[in-house]
Amino acid sequence: MLDYKSLLLALGVSAACLVVTLFGTWFSRRTDSFLLTLVVALALIVTGIFAYSSYTLQSGEMWVCMAYIFLVTGFSATYAASVQFRTGRKPWMLAAVLSILCIAVGLPPLLADLDGVGLIVMNVAAAALLVGTGWQYVAARREAPGPLCGMAILYALSGLSFVLCALVLITEKQWTLGQAPDNWAENLNLGVCIAGMTGIGALSLALHQWRMAAHHRHEAMTDALTGLMNRRALFEENGHRVLKPSTAVVVFDVDRFKSINDRFGHATGDLVLKLFAEDLRSGITPGQTVARLGGEEFTMILENVLPGRAEKVATDICRAFAARTIPVGDAILQCTVSAGIAVGSAGGEPFEAVLSRADNALFEAKRGGRDRVVVADYLRPVTVTGTRTSA
C-alpha cells in the first residue's frame, strides 16, 4: 500500500500544480473562459484525491463518500469545460446536471456499505466523462489539430484505465471492500493519470499559445472599425492569384466622404463606413470576399460570375446603401457610393492588375458624376452604367 499511497500523493501534487499553472494562464488572457472552468474542475478533483488518500489510511464511510462526490463533480466539470471550448456555451448547468446524476447513482451504495459497488459506479462514470471530454476535443480539432488530438488521446487513455479498475472489481465480485481497493489496475490507473495530467497540462498551455497567436493574427488581418478583411489580408490571400474572366473585382468608394466628416463629425463618418460594410456583407454569398482597402474605399471579389452579374451585384449594393436613412441628431443623412468593376482576362491576369483597372473604373465613375457603377472592359474603353439613386 505504500507505493500506491505514494502514487496517489504524486497525482494530487501534480494536479494541484496544474491548477496553479492553468489559473495563471487563464489570468493572462481571460477570454479563454474554458480554462477557468478546467481550473475549477481540477481543484475539485484534487480535493477528491486527497479525500481518497485519507480513505486509504483509514476506512470509513465519510472519506469514501467525500472522495466520490468531489471526484465525479470534478470529472463532470472537466467534460463541461470541453463542451464550453467547442461550443462557447456556459458550462455550469451541464456540470451540475451531470454531477447530480452521478451522485444519485453512486452515493446510495456507498451509504449502504456497498463501497465496492459505489467505486465501480465512480470508475465507470469517470471513464465515460473522460472519453466524452476527449471526443469534444476531437470534434474541435480543426482549430489546433496537434494539441487537441493529443489531449483527446490522453483523456481517452485515462478513461480506459478507470474502466480497468471497474472490471477488476466486477470480475472479483468485490461488492463490499471496507477499505480502498489494492490491485494492479489501481496502480496502473494512477500511473496513467499522472502521465496524462502532465501531458494534458503541457498541451493545454500549447493550445493557449496557439489561440493567442491566432488571435493576434486575426487582429492583424482585420479592419478594427468594420470587422472586414483589411488590405494586408486581402493581398496575402489574393496577391498571388491569376484571375480569369469568371472572377470580378469591384472597388467601392463612399461619395463625398470628407464632407460628411467635416459637417457631421468623424463619429458619423465611422457609422457610415460600418453601415456600408454591413451592406457589403449582405450583398455576397459564402465564399466571396469583401475587404476595406483603407479610408472610405472597399473592394469585393466575386467568383464564378457570368457576364453582367458583377455589375448587378454592385448596382444592388449601391442602391441599397443610397436608400438608407441615417439619423444624425435632428438631421437625416443619405449617402451614395460609386463603384468600378474589372474582370480577369481570358489568358489570366494578376490580381493586382485587375484591382488597378477596377480602381481606374472607379475614378471614371467619380469623374462622371458619382453615384454610379463603371465597368472597365479589358478590350475596349471604359463604359458607364448609371445607377441613379437618391443623393
- CA-based radius of gyration for the chain: 31
Catalytic residue from among 296, 311, 349, 364? 296
- How far apart CA 88 and CA 298 sit, in angstroms, is 32
- How far apart CA 257 and CA 271 sit, in angstroms, is 12
Residue type, 114: L
- How far apart CA 40 and CA 81 sit, in angstroms, is 10
296 as an active site residue: the answer is yes
- How far apart CA 273 and CA 268 sit, in angstroms, is 9
The alpha carbon dihedral of 200, 206, 207, 208 has a sign of positive
Q: Which residues contact 126 (CB under 8 A, 6 or more apart)?
A: 71, 72, 75, 159, 162
Catalytic site residues?
296
